[in-house]
Every structure is written in structure tokens, then in C-alpha cells.
Amino acid sequence: MKLKILFLLPLVFLSAFFISYCQDVPDAKAEQSVYMRVVDSETPFYLDKSEGEPFFYLPCSYFVKILEEDENFYHVECFGELAPAIDGFVPKDMLISIDYDVQSPYMQATVTTLSSCMLYADNDAKEGVYHIFPDRSLTLYGSYFEQGEENLYLVCYNDKLGFVKESYLKPFTMPTHPIPLPQNNSNQVVETSKKQSPSSNFDGLKTAIIICLSLAGVIALCLVVKRKKPSETATTFVDDDF
């Protein structure tokens, strides 16, 4: 009986290792990034799917969080760290897929007012909602290009979202994300940081199988030898179950 228990031990060990291995292997769907990347400074962000006038243009090199998709658009969310999150729609052909983790996907940049200015609710700069004094720091979302006029920038100030004119801001350069853009921007998958390959787990599983099978073979051999061992006396019987 003891030998039979010993014979089962390798199988128990192998089962436990296999269960642990299955838990360690990452699920491909879980690894898939929920973010996509902006690779063009004229990537429009719409408040709805009517494809009318864009609300603003997303900053090149940064990321948006994908909420859902349909035939022509991604429903996306951006920001939510230094400024309130906003959601809208981006044409599917304007974003590229990624397969790596992004620690800081959204722009975390600010601009400073040069002089007193108005925060406008719309990108036509007609509806003023807030007066901002000089030297105030505004969280930057992106830009809006005026036709024949100066640029407007979508910003957040005191939790109010709106647009300010470029002439009222101190000179600045639109920052880029630390992760370099790919050489080719044609919706390719970018690989800048590799996940750990599961091949090492396969090697460990193979080693465990070999050890367990070897141990099982030794125990089986001991069983065979014990069964063939002659009795010490003519009246004594050896029961392998005890």
C-alpha cells in the first residue's frame, strides 16, 4: 500500500505543477491593449458620429482608450488623470494598434496664460464661460485649427473644459510621448517592449514531466522487484497492499 501511495506522488506533483503553469500562462485576450495610438496631428475627435465639425484634434503620438468600435469609428476615451476624461469618436483609419503596456497613455502637459483671456465653451470662440487671469496653468488636451485665424487649444481650468486662443498663451511646443512613433504609420502593430515569452514555462513543464516519469519508473521497478522477492518462511505471505 505504501508503495502504491509513493507511486501516486509523482502524478500528484505533476498535476499541481500543471495547474500552476496554466495559471501563469497569460491569456492572449487579457494581454491585448485597450489603447490605440494617434500618429497624425490632424486626427479629429468628434462628439458624435455625424462627422460634422471636429470638436478638437488629438495630440500626435499619444493614446486613446478604446471603449467600443463599429464599422467606421472607434468610441474612445482620453485623459482622466490630470484632467476630466472625455469620450467621443475617432475614424478607425486614424489610429494604429499596439501590443505593449503604456504606463502614461495620456498627455500630461500644461500651458500658461500670457495675459487675461476668456475660456470658450465652443471651438468657434463665441460663447465665453470663464475669465482666466495671467500666469494661470491650464491642462492641455489638444488643438483646434482655425481657418485663417489663430489656433485654439482645448484646455481644462478649475475643472472647466473649454478653448483658449493661442495669442493669450505663453509660447510652448506641443509635447510628444516618450515612446517613439513607428517608422511606418500604416495601422501596423508596434512592438517596443516585449512580453516575457512563455517558452520558459514550457521548458519548466518538460523538466517536471521528465522528473516525475523517472520517479514513477523507479517506484514501479521497486514494486516489480518486491513482488518477485521470495518469502522468508514457507508460512509467511507478503501482501504488497500493506
114 is a domain residue: yes
The predicted structure's pLDDT at residue 195: 36
What global pTM score does this model have?
0.64
Looking at residue 193, its pLDDT comes to: 35
Instruction: Return the CATH number at 160.
Output: 2.30.30.40
Do 46 and 21 share a domain, yes or no?
Answer: no
Residue 36 domain-assigned (yes or no): yes
Q: What pLDDT is attached to residue 191?
A: 39
Pairwise pLDDT comparison (145 vs 112), residue with the higher score: 112
Query: Is residue 162 located within the same domain as residue 222?
Result: no
* pLDDT above 80 (res 242): no
Please indicate, yes or no, whether residues 89 and 186 belong to a single structural domain of this protein.
yes
How far, in Å, CA of 137 to CA of 123, rounded? 20
Is the domain of 121 the same as that of 69? Answer: no
Query: 123 and 94 in one domain?
Result: no
pLDDT above 90 for 36: yes
Indicate if the pLDDT at residue 210 is higher than 60.
yes
Q: What is the 3 state secondary structure string of the chain? A: CHHHHHHHHHHHHHHHHHHHHHHHCCCHHHHCCCEEEECCCCEEEECCCCCCCCCEEECCCCEEEEEEECCCEEEEEECCCCCCCEEEEEEHHHEEEECCCCCCCCCCCEEEECCCEEEECCCCCCCEEEEECCCCEEEEEEEECCCCCCCEEEEEECCEEEEEEHHHECCCCCCCCCCCCCCCCCCCCECCCCCCCCHHHHHHHHHHHHHHHHHHHHHHHHHHHHHHCCCCCCCCCCCCCC
Decide if 242 is inside a domain: no
Would 238 be classed as within a structural domain? no
131 in the same domain as 34: no
Does the residue 236 lie in any domain? Answer: no
98 and 184 inside one domain: yes
Q: pLDDT digits over 184-195, tens only?
A: 654 444 433 333
pLDDT, tens digit, 9 for 90 and up, residues 2-20: 555 555 555 545 555 544 5
Rounded to the nearest integer, the mean pLDDT of the chain is 76
User: How much of the chain, in percent, has pLDDT values that exceed 70?
Assistant: 61
Say what percent of the chain tops pLDDT 90: 47
Read off the pLDDT band of 29 (50, 70, 90): very low
In a shared domain, residues 70 and 134: no
Are residues 70 and 20 located together in one domain of the fold?
no
Q: What is the mean pLDDT of residues 75-100?
A: 91
Top-confidence residue, 236 or 112: 112
pLDDT band per the 50, 70, 90 thresholds, residue 206: low
pLDDT, residue 81, reads 74
Write down the pLDDT at residue 211. Answer: 65
Do 46 and 99 belong to one domain? yes
Does position 146 have pLDDT exceeding 50, yes or no?
yes
Span 132-145, average pLDDT: 95
| 239 occurs within a structural domain | no
Q: Which residue has the higher pLDDT, 211 or 144?
A: 144
pLDDT for the residue 101: 87
Tens-digit pLDDT profile for residues 88-108? 999 999 999 998 888 889 988
Residue 240 forms part of a structural domain: no
**pLDDT (0 to 100) of residue 207:** 61
Do residues 127 and 184 both lie within one domain? Answer: no
On whether both 83 and 165 belong to a single domain, the answer is no
Q: Looking at the domain assignment, is residue 233 inside a domain? A: no
How many domains in the chain?
Answer: 3
Domain that holds residue 155: 110-173
Give yes or no for residue 74 having a pLDDT over 80: yes
